[in-house]
Structure 1
């Protein structure tokens, strides 16, 4: 078989394999659409690591063999596919950095080695590919799998220097061209570094790599400090305004402008708490109240409130629907009985539903998300008339949940500030 015919046969096999591989990958990508965060991490990994070899290898091949040969060589497309697979894997949060950095070179070798034979390892760029894939994999694996704050001081600068030396390695690849069989190892490097221009280039790349590495280390440390402060501020904001308000401010700020909507308002208050406080020490009072809040709040949050707030011994919760509020009230009352009964205390609870105005209320320095309106006032008045251990719901709530709960009795209540009595239901 002639050399031309053999080359054509190998090229045909490569193109056929590449077509099948691309078909498989395209089906996979269509079957599973990646979220936006994945593509952000994918781009960061490609620009920060996996794409470096692909870019340098492609540039060296273009310089050595020309544009036409580069675009007509199927192996170049295999390399692109291999590095994209590596990038996709390393974009994952729990990716193994050592094995992940070997994905691209392994795929490329497995595809090209059966076709090129041992001549595969006679090409300088392939040797460079393996050496730096292993080197960067070891450095990143040490950084990600050990204590980052301890190892980052040397792994980040080392990784930066390695990437700069990769640039020098491809400079050597271009310098060697197809003369690798005449490569004489250390003597070559002695001769290479014996030239002032080459020595300057080598030292400059190492120095620039260190400077960029230390700069990246500084950015990583600053980013970690900012993330830690943001976590504290976020927690304080959620404590003060509630998760709903914080999440809305971060995504759709205009939704917290004043607007009229229907909301279910829940109030729960400890009965006889003021007189009980007069008879006990402040430390006991603080411990009891905090225990009450810690036990009741998770139950209220379980039913997805828009806001839960504490004022002295009072709990106020805002829900979207009466069903959520009533379910929350029953669960909260059960927990409250268990927490407060050892102290001889109990809590009354009430739920009302209707139109309110919600939004951010306050001045320039102090603002909070809450609701106002007659519905809030009625809910508070109903709660104040509810005995410890009981739950009162308004007629508006009753009409929504009467077929879902057991009613104890109907009440005609005279509320403060109301000319007519209000119908209520004890559950």
Structure 2
């Protein structure tokens, strides 16, 4: 059974998603798979391909390192514990067959434990304070991985001895370090490990900065365009092309706000308006709008259904009365429902998600005709919600709205 097929079976058994498999491969290629790859190369070099694929111990090692990789690829995995999973599984299964002395007489087993413990400790130190420790730990981990490669080179050289179990390790070390070619190899590998570690540190710092910038830009985009527009555009660049849809449009506007502003200092006006927005916005958001926008003292919200819009209007009006009454102000609110054109409007440099059409204009006209503290709904909304509205309504006379050829029948919600 090949490594690829084992990974495939492990992927299916663990139910890894596409993103989960990406994390799995990143962990395997960046950390957990290093020992497996080097051990496999050393065994193939010494014993050949046939012996490698016929040895149960090789498959045990693959299985153990895949389990470790699967655990460490999880978001909340313990890096200290996780880096010891592979070596622990391998030892627990293989130790009863080899015995304690014979197991640790195998040089590759000793290398396995030394580097597993070393990486585990370095990862543990790094996790305590990543930002402060990264400048030291990341280069050190890279150097240790180069030392692992150097160790396996030594294992291959040592294994070439006819009876390496009884071989004098100290004499071997002296012989290994006594040659200039070996000293060059060791020094070069350590320097390369350091340089790779410094490069990885730069990448890590840049990734963190990019994530912070992305988070900020994402927040700004959601403030400006709303979650629905941002998510739709990320999922499909053409997802916000012009399209006719059924939407419920809510408008709320403070009555007499312009004249009130003339009588108060700009600082007082700004504080009052900001307080109003801070109280209204979370209430409107709780009913899952597609978009909320603020223009001066006006709030516009787009909802998928009239049920959402009317529920939001009732909750928003209750909050508005509490916030605005100390200033002697009140807000009028209206909801209309029907077909609109939805999409990204604007030029090449500035665009925004919104809806346009007669339904939007009518909703605005209804709001302008609504008294402070009231909520007006169109007949289209009333018919959609008839029998579902938990509050009473009274029928108004048909309103003659500015810019409308025909009168519009409306209903006012009563507490």
Q: TM-score, normalised by structure 2?
A: 0.94
Which of 113, 118, 126 is the aligned partner of 1:135?
Answer: 118
The 5 Å alignment of 1:84-103 reads 84-103=66-85
Is contact 1:350-1:386 (8 Å) kept?
Answer: yes
Which residue of structure 2 lines up, in the alignment, with residue 419 of structure 1? 405
How far apart are residue 420 of structure 1 and its match? Answer: 2.2
SS in 1 for 2:362: helix
How far apart are residue 198 of structure 1 and its match? Answer: 0.6
Gaps of 5+ in 2: none
* Offset from partner CA, 1:222-267 (integer Å, 9 cap, x none): 1111111111111111111111111111111212111111111000
Which residue of structure 2 lines up, in the alignment, with residue 371 of structure 1? 355
The 5 Å alignment of 1:235-246 reads 235-246=219-230
Are 1:409 and 2:394 an aligned pair?
yes
SS in 2 for 1:87: helix
User: How many angstroms apart in 2 are the aligned matches of 1:187 and 1:275?
Assistant: 96
Q: Residue 407 and residue 379 in structure 1: after superposition, are their counterparts in 2 closer, same or farther (change >3 A)?
A: same
Is contact 1:123-1:180 (8 Å) kept?
Answer: no
User: How many angstroms apart in 1 are the aligned matches of 2:246 and 2:228?
Assistant: 16
Q: Residue 402 and residue 203 in structure 1: after superposition, are their counterparts in 2 closer, same or farther (change >3 A)?
A: same
User: How many angstroms apart in 2 are the aligned matches of 1:107 and 1:247?
Assistant: 43
Q: Residue 173 and residue 31 in structure 1: after superposition, are their counterparts in 2 closer, same or farther (change >3 A)?
A: closer
The 5 Å alignment of 1:28-427 reads 33-118=15-100, 119-143=102-126, 145-177=127-159, 179-405=163-389, 406-411=391-396, 412-427=398-413
User: How many angstroms apart in 2 are the aligned matches of 1:219 and 1:115?
Assistant: 44
Is contact 1:124-1:180 (8 Å) kept?
Answer: no
User: How many angstroms apart in 1 are the aligned matches of 2:76 and 2:164?
Assistant: 39
How far apart are residue 33 of structure 1 and its match? Answer: 2.3
* Offset from partner CA, 1:120-149 (integer Å, 9 cap, x none): 111111000000111111111211x22211
Is contact 2:11-2:21 (8 Å) kept?
Answer: no
User: How many angstroms apart in 2 are the aligned matches of 1:113 and 1:32?
Assistant: 27
How far apart are residue 186 of structure 1 and its match? Answer: 4.0
Q: How many residues align?
A: 403
User: How many angstroms apart in 2 are the aligned matches of 1:307 and 1:259?
Assistant: 16
SS in 2 for 1:255: coil
User: How many angstroms apart in 2 are the aligned matches of 1:33 and 1:52?
Assistant: 24
User: How many angstroms apart in 1 are the aligned matches of 2:216 and 2:266?
Assistant: 29
Q: Residue 30 and residue 154 in structure 1: after superposition, are their counterparts in 2 closer, same or farther (change >3 A)?
A: closer
Is contact 1:156-1:214 (8 Å) kept?
Answer: yes
Is contact 2:158-2:172 (8 Å) kept?
Answer: no
Q: Residue 284 and residue 264 in structure 1: after superposition, are their counterparts in 2 closer, same or farther (change >3 A)?
A: same
How far apart are residue 103 of structure 1 and its match? Answer: 0.3
SS in 2 for 1:381: helix
How far apart are residue 311 of structure 1 and its match? Answer: 0.2
User: How many angstroms apart in 1 are the aligned matches of 2:122 and 2:12?
Assistant: 35
User: How many angstroms apart in 2 are the aligned matches of 1:32 and 1:111?
Assistant: 22
* Offset from partner CA, 1:31-55 (integer Å, 9 cap, x none): 7622222111101000000001001
* Offset from partner CA, 1:94-140 (integer Å, 9 cap, x none): 21111111100000000000111121111111000000111111111
User: How many angstroms apart in 2 are the aligned matches of 1:355 and 1:304?
Assistant: 19
SS in 2 for 1:422: coil
User: How many angstroms apart in 2 are the aligned matches of 1:107 and 1:83?
Assistant: 9
How far apart are residue 185 of structure 1 and its match? Answer: 4.0
Q: TM-score, normalised by structure 1?
A: 0.91
Q: Residue 65 and residue 214 in structure 1: after superposition, are their counterparts in 2 closer, same or farther (change >3 A)?
A: same
Is contact 1:122-1:180 (8 Å) kept?
Answer: no
